[in-house]
Chain A
Amino acid sequence: MTPPELATAAPSEMEVPAFSMPVESNPAGFAATLRKYTKIFRASLVERLTYRADFLFSTLLRFLPMLTTILLWQAIYATATPDETSTPGHKRLSGFQFDEMIAYLLMVNISRMFSSMPGLAGGIARDIREGTIKKYLLQPLDLIGYLLSYRVAHKVSYIISSALPYAVLFFICRGFFRGHVPTEPTVWLAFATSLVLAFAVGFFFEASVGMVGFWFLEVTSILYIVMTLNFFISGHMFPLDLLPRPWSTILKSLPFQYMAYFPAVIFLGKVRGAALAYGLLLQLCWAGVFICLARWLYRRGLRRYSAYGG
């Protein structure tokens, strides 16, 4: 079984109720206003808590893969032949100590939180196939622009709602981060930048895959292949440094590493100075490449588009 796109199951999918604020006409003062907002707060809370059992259950399940991952790597480090640079008591594999390895595998989740785009390419392809893409052609609305703003909102609500489970997870695993949390503000800044760029690379890459739908009506299978491959070559499974020589170099020169590996190694302080600046620049370039690619494919695709159905 290939890994499902886990972010689809995240609480992100729960819609936030849109309360329109009634204009205050009653001059009853502070107490009434307070009562009103308390009511809104309670209604929102009840709405949120409707799915509490489901939410708690899935959060609990979410810890299981992390548990087995930690145990697996513990077993690997127990018997592995370390790098020559290792010091006694600090076994390193491709430069990663055990706690760094676990911290890396936790941080990769944060990278993927930004770069994974569940349903984006599939949605574009469906719009093309079913002809609903027409609505973007008839209105003064750009498809990519619309999807981008929709996705940003989606990500914001996802990140906010999964902050608590992640905070618990990171708190439990805080021991692995001891000494690996960046202290310099520049590293934090670089990390934040790389996450934003990871979002851009992920978004425009998947949008480009979706645009292939103009040429092939059925892209789900291509999408599955790409996503399965991405799980490995983005460094989601383990740091790319662990791979033997030609492969690690090849994978590190592909854009996929920016969706998982790169932000995580910035956080762990594995890339510094000039290499960091160069990496961020390359990430920016890849984002640019995919922006252009998605635009170009969209423009070319529209010329082929013959508006079936809809």
Chain B
Amino acid sequence: MSSATRYFRLIGSLGRYALARELSFRGNFLAKVSVEVLWLGILLAFYRTIFARTSSIAEWSEPQYLFFVGCFFALNGLIETLFLENCDGFAELVRTGDLDFLLLKPIDEQFLITCRRVDWSTAPNVVMGAAVMVLSLWQMHWAFEPARIVAFFVSFACGVMIAYCFMLMLTSVSVWMVRNQGLMEMWWLFSSLARYPKEIFSHTWADPIGRFFTYILPILLVVNVPSQAMVRILDWRMVGFTLLATIVLFWVSRKFFQKALRSYRSASS
């Protein structure tokens, strides 16, 4: 238990340190936030343009789809705040051999490597995404249901963890691959799968691909299950499966990461 409190205290101090650093470059912070606001605006413009032509996409009605967009934006924002910058720096740590200094610290390597910096500039995305979600709930006259809220928060947390596990595995690959492509790009490409409702895969030739990314590499669960639970059908079996997938994936990705670390040859340090 004391080790758990130690990690919480560490997260707290790392977060405070990052915030202090971020606030010493306030102009830069505001600029970064305004880019994110602009990007949300573009996503909403895209959504409006499409829904000017149709009343539903893959069985998602307009307000339901808006909720999906908000959920995606918030979830992605949280991942970027907590993990993306850290994972992006990993390849460089391996290349320069600076990873040695992190490995020497008396703390879990995975925690230190993936959580050491908090990127506060994307934290407002969580709030903006939440605002979009609330707006869509208001638009669809959502009836308050505590069960849905519970299911949403559980599967949202699982979604963040699943995404984190995939990011961790993509990050680990850079130990073996010479000259890794930037993780940012790889993450952008891979997470494009989670950007749209998974129903776009069904009833077409892509159905097996959709199943593959739901049950084998479950990236499609990430935004779909929380959105689904909140505004469409609340299927506890799916929420349960997401929970199970999160646990399995966490174990697999941790093993994978440790295997990668064992192959690290500490070059040029």
Chain A residues packing against B (C-beta within 8 Å): 1-4, 6, 8-9, 14, 50-51, 53-54, 57-58, 61-62, 64-65, 67-68, 71-72, 74-76, 78-81, 93, 218, 221-222, 224-225, 228-229, 231-232, 237-238, 242-244
Contact = CB atoms under 8 A, between A and B. Distances in A.
Interface stretch (B9-17, B138-146, B174-182, B246-254): B174-182
B181 A9 contact: yes
Contacts of A9: 181-182, 185-186
A71 B176 CA distance: 33
Interface string B184-214: 1111111111011001110010100100000
B52 interface: yes
A80 B54 contact: yes
B188 A4 contact: yes
B266 interface: no
Given A81-B54, A238-B46, A238-B49, A64 B200 contact: no
Given A9-B182, A75-B200, A228-B39, A61 B189 contact: yes
Contact of A244 (B52, B177, B188): B52
5 contacts: A54-B177, A65-B189, A75-B200, A76-B50, A76-B53
A14 B199 CA distance: 39
Contacts, number: 126
> Chain B interface: which size bin?
35 or more
A224 B31 contact: yes
B204 A74 contact: yes
B193 A232 contact: no
B204 A79 contact: no
A54 B91 CA distance: 13
B36 interface: yes
B42 A93 contact: no
B178 A75 contact: no
B34 interface: yes
B46 A80 contact: no
B35 interface: yes
A65 B192 contact: yes
A237 B45 CA distance: 11
A58 B189 CA distance: 9
